[in-house]
Amino acid sequence: MHYYRPLGVICVIMLTVARLSGQDMSVQALPPDGALVQKSQLWNLMITNTAASVQSRKLSMTVIDRKSNRRVLSALSNVFLVSPGARLYQLADMMPVMYNALSPAFNGTDFDFLPAGDYQVCYELLGDKGSRSGVSCVPVSVKLLSGPQLQAPQNNARVSVDSLAFSWTPPTPEPLLPDALYAIRLVHVEKGQTAENALKENPVLFSADQLSSLSLLYPATATRLENNRHYAWKVTAYNDQQEVVSVSWSFETGDPAQPKATDGQVYTKLEKEGVSAGYSLVSRYLRFSFDNESADSLFQVTFIDVTGGRHEQLPVDSSLIPRFIRGINHVQIDLPAIPGVRKKHLYELRLTDARRQSWKMTFQYQ
């Protein structure tokens, strides 16, 4: 059984011990920046040795969940040599490293990415005679790029009440929300309401939670839906550490109809900044839809490589981007024509107008 102290108490204790032991060394943590944080990146540090000689040290690392104030992971490096002066150190300089998982989300040593959450990561250098120095704590936040993506019924579709089935895809990147369960909510949509407002204001007509699958057949025992009525639904993905919500979609009951783009292809909708972004797996052609509510025809299109926590912006030739019209636009981009786009990488597509409003989606190039 683990004994947990509040986060502030843990940090104060570590800092006090370091002061009493003398500070011949200091550690400056270089926290990863990005949606994906690999555990190896946590060992990127600047260590300064103020002594005149080479010193041997071990490095202790503790990861604390800022929401629960509990330690979720600890690790201890091998002995390594610290030269006088300041130098950058990485995992390879301290191998092998022993990890101790203190939370199921970090169980084992085979995880590559930190689960989604807000953490405090603390470091401490340990000498061979019990000396302690170089305490440094930094915040690290790992955010999901996208919540669950609703698949069926399609937004604004017309469906039969006798064959109603819901389906969705996992949040992305999926490894950041291990052991995810799902909850679904369904409500009536009254005249003049949006799907978002209906889900906030109206009584729940049907709900189900602790779902482990990515689909649900509307139960025959649930309240029967009425024909020619509008309904709104959304899905929440969650585990013990985090939860993330999909966008809100609506559908109408009646004779089935399945609207498509004019060429019959599937296009991922760009969502406004602040809303869970759409996600797509792309083999060659990136297809997205954009509802242009303004009279603007020119937008800045940006590709950002977010693989492994990087934020590398790629140039996009404006000739590859069509002029936008008012209303729904369906855009297709040939990814091999974009310099620097690499397979097996995760990207964010961002569309920005002259007023600096942004819409975005994420996709993985297979």
pLDDT at residue 264, rounded to an integer: 42
In terms of Cβ atoms closer than 10 Å to its own Cβ (0-12, 13-18, 19+), residue 27 is: buried
pLDDT of amino acid 135: 82
21 — pLDDT class (breaks 50, 70, 90): very low
For residue 343, what pLDDT band results from cuts at 50, 70 and 90? confident
Q: What is the pLDDT of residues 236-277, one digit of tens each?
A: 998 877 788 999 999 888 765 433 333 345 678 888 877 766
Same domain for 109 and 156, yes or no, is no
Examine the fold and report which residue of 221, 253, 285 is the final residue of a domain before the chain moves on.
253
Q: Is residue 258 part of a domain?
A: no
Same domain (yes/no): 177, 133: no
- Domain limit, last residue, from 99, 125, 142: 142
Q: Are residues 125 and 249 in the same domain?
A: no
| Domain-located, residue 262 | no
Residue 111 forms part of a structural domain? yes
The residue with tokens 């060429």 is: 263
Question: Given this model, what pLDDT does residue 34 score?
Answer: 60
Are 163 and 183 in the same domain? yes
The pTM (predicted TM-score) of the whole model is 0.49
Farthest CA pair distance, the chain: 82
Give the pLDDT confidence of 208-242 residue by residue, as tens digits. Answer: 999 988 889 899 899 899 888 899 999 999 887 77
Residue 1 within a domain? no
**Count of structural domains within the chain:** 3
Q: Are 112 and 38 in contact (CB under 8 A)?
A: yes
- For residues 280 and 215, state if they share a domain: no
Residue 45 has pLDDT above 60, yes or no: yes
The last residue of one of the domains, among 142, 171, 198, is: 142
Mean pLDDT score, 151-176:
82
Residue 10 carries which DSSP code?
H
Q: What is the mean pLDDT of the chain?
A: 81
pLDDT at 268: 82
Lookup: tokens for 137: 């704590």
Let me know if residue 309 belongs to a domain: yes
Cβ atoms of residues 334 and 291 within 8 Å:
no
Do 103 and 19 share a structural domain?
yes
Q: For residue 357, what is the domain's CATH number?
A: 2.60.40.770
In a domain, 260, yes or no: no
Given the structure tokens 């979609």, which residue do they identify?
249
Residue 263 resides in a domain: no
| CATH code of residue 99 | 2.60.40.10
Q: Which is more confident, 113 or 52?
A: 52
CA-only gyration radius of the chain, Å = 25
∠ CA 244-273-250, nearest 5°, is 60
Q: Are 159 and 248 in a shared domain?
A: yes
Q: What's the CA gap between 52 and 85, in Å, rounded?
A: 8
Q: Do 196 and 177 meet the contact criterion of CB atoms below 8 Å apart? A: no
| Co-location of 65 and 173 in the same domain | no
Q: Which domain holds residue 166?
A: 149-253
What's the average model confidence in pLDDT over 15-24?
46
Same domain as 311, residue 220:
no
Does residue 92 sit in the same domain as residue 187?
no
Is residue 22 assigned to a domain? yes
Confidence of residue 281 (pLDDT cuts 50, 70, 90): confident
282 lies in the same domain as 221 = no
Report which residue type is found at 79. Answer: V
Residues 249 and 293 placed together within one structural domain of the fold = no
User: In the 8-state DSSP scheme, what is residue 23?
Assistant: -
* pLDDT score at 123: 92
